[in-house]
Amino acid sequence: MVQCRKYLSNADCVACFTTAGSKIRNCSAANGARVIYDGCFLRYESNNFYDQTTLPGNQGLCENRTASQPTTFITAVEELLQDLQVATPKINGFFAASKKEIVGDSGEKVTVYGVAQCIETASESGCQDCLKPASNNIKVCLPGVYGRAIDAGCFMRYSDTPFFADNQTTNIDLFFENGSSNKKKAIIGGVVGGVGALFIITLFALLKLSRRPKEDLRGDILGATELRGPVNYKYKDVKSATRNFSEGNKLGEGGFGDVYKGTLNNGKIVAVKKLAIGKSPKVKADFESEVKLISNVHHRNMIRLLGCCSKGPERLLVYEYMANSSLDKFLFGEKQGSLDWKQRNDIILGTARGLAYLHEEFHVCIIHRDIKTSNILLDDDLQPKIADFGLARLLPEDQSHLSKKFAGTLGYTAPEYAIHGQLSEKADIYSFGIVILEIICGRKSNDVRNDLDGEYLLERAWKLYENNKHSELVDETLDPEDYKIEEVKRTVEIALMCTQSSASLRPSMSEVVVLLKSKGSLEHTPSTKPAYVHSDKKVGEEKSISTATPISKATVSISQISGR
């Protein structure tokens, strides 16, 4: 099946199809593939897929430029997306192009442009089912001035600049009793644009094209699935933004380098990470390819990479700035005890969603390798954003490992990865289970306390689970009226499921998300005792390894929870 956006000319539609056809042939050994561009969509499968609309892998794709009037712009985009989401399934052909103009409180005027489209072989309900997650995915891009949402059977796009002509807009007012789904006036053009193409590829090709005026705007036919690189900042600008990487601007230190607060020339506050990854030609090539990849990770629970700097004495990454810093500050630092039970629950669920996106929804699987509370940042609403994803792939290769180089923190690291170098997404799931326990009890995983029989956190959690005393694990600073014991019990058991010794017994992150969102007792409970990797150097001391040093050279040991 191939289908063009209806704001394209016939020539642009054919050009987009030609490009997509060339691209999809790279997947000819597979039993199915999809190519999605701004101008067209192409798919083949070994099975009938014409009624499919939403599938795992749906996502938002964003650009990093921020609107100059963010509050007004966000309002305008959200209203336009809501209108498109409601109207498009009701329109013959499942396509709508519209624009919305609103005036902010201070008198500023903002205009946004958007389209929504479902495959023409879908049902009205199927189109509705697809546009709902698409609308949620594309909102992740705000207050960015350009965003897209892609799925198996639908597409949404918004921009602060026009990408279709006025005579191609759809009068979606017809589908709302009060003129708009948001009861605010939108400026809408007159008629539905007549341009479009639908190709159904079976034993033959059916090409259906119609005419449109030559003076219409030329559509942007490519872009949606092309990886767009990050903004390239000049070294002198980043250096100036951080006051020459001054100690006063230093936010923290990590295994991959130091982090500094910076203020760009436009006033935007950012976090700048100075990477410690070497300067060989291979490192430079790896840096450019990996940064291009992770700059296209867009999810509400992932920290946003805004840009980078590779032309200078340092390798620098520029991220969005989180004023609330990291989760460990709220659990073990100066803000200890300030999170209530609901906030902790939201952080657990949001982090799980972010990891599920990395593992299963992004177009390649990214294994984080170093999930811990200091790598979970909190936004102004205390919602979690995972940081440092993808960076471990930039470390030098170490031939002494069975798979990839080790980059993790003992106390959070799965035993099969720390001891044998066996890396899979199940290593992240183990680390996430440890993080859950830390969030529940407000205690570091490797903090051995004499008043708790000198046990590591995971040891204590398993013992309390076996004796049905889950409530004793809860942080003493929490108000007992704020949580239910059954809810605590479920969450502890999910954490223990994630930390089972055998990686094959651990659930996937998408399964963890479902378990966290469901109510009642678990159908399956943890069946094996966890194993714990700790440092023999000093009891309770965290040992971070973020280089290619073989784990065998680090003094570590593995303990079964039944005893050390």
Contacts of 480 (CB under 8 A, 6+ apart): none
Q: What is the 3-state secondary structure (H, E, C) of 481-494?
A: HHCCHHHHHHHHHH
Query: Where, residue-wise, is CATH 3.30.200.20 in the chain?
Result: 231-320
Helix/strand/coil percentages in the chain, nearest 5: 35, 20, 45
Per-10-residue mean pLDDT, the chain, length 564: 90 86 77 86 88 86 84 93 95 94 83 96 94 93 91 94 87 70 37 30 28 38 53 91 94 83 91 79 72 82 89 86 93 92 96 92 84 93 90 50 48 81 89 96 79 77 91 92 91 94 91 88 78 51 36 41 39
Side by side, the strands of the sheet bearing 231-232 are: 231-232, 305-309, 315-320, 269-275, 257-263, 250-254
User: Tokens 């049902």 label which residue?
Assistant: 123
Pair of tokens at residue 532: 């714990």
Q: Does domain 327-560 have CATH number 3.40.630.10?
A: no
CATH number of 231-320: 3.30.200.20
Catalytic residue among 83, 220, 286, 370: 370
Return the pLDDT at 397.
45
Q: What is the 3-state secondary structure (H, E, C) of 169-207?
A: CCCHHHHCCCCCCCCCCCCCCCCCCCCCEEEEECCCEEE
Nearest Cα residue to 114 out of 66, 82, 137: 82
Nearest Cα residue to 39 out of 204, 169, 225, 171: 225
For residue 376, the tally of other CB atoms under 10 A from its CB is 27
User: Cα(552)–Cα(556) distance, rounded to whole angstroms?
Assistant: 8
Known catalytic residue: 370? yes
Output phi, psi for 11, to 5 deg: -65, -40
Query: So what's the architecture of 2-209 in CATH?
Result: 2-Layer Sandwich (3.30)
What predicted TM-score, i.e. pTM, was given to this entire model? 0.59
What element of type H or E holds 232?
strand 231-232
Query: Where, residue-wise, is CATH 3.30.430.20 in the chain?
Result: 2-209
Return the pLDDT at 292.
79
Nearest Cα residue to 273 out of 306, 225, 228: 306
Return the pLDDT at 189.
31
Query: Where, residue-wise, is CATH 1.10.510.10 in the chain?
Result: 327-560
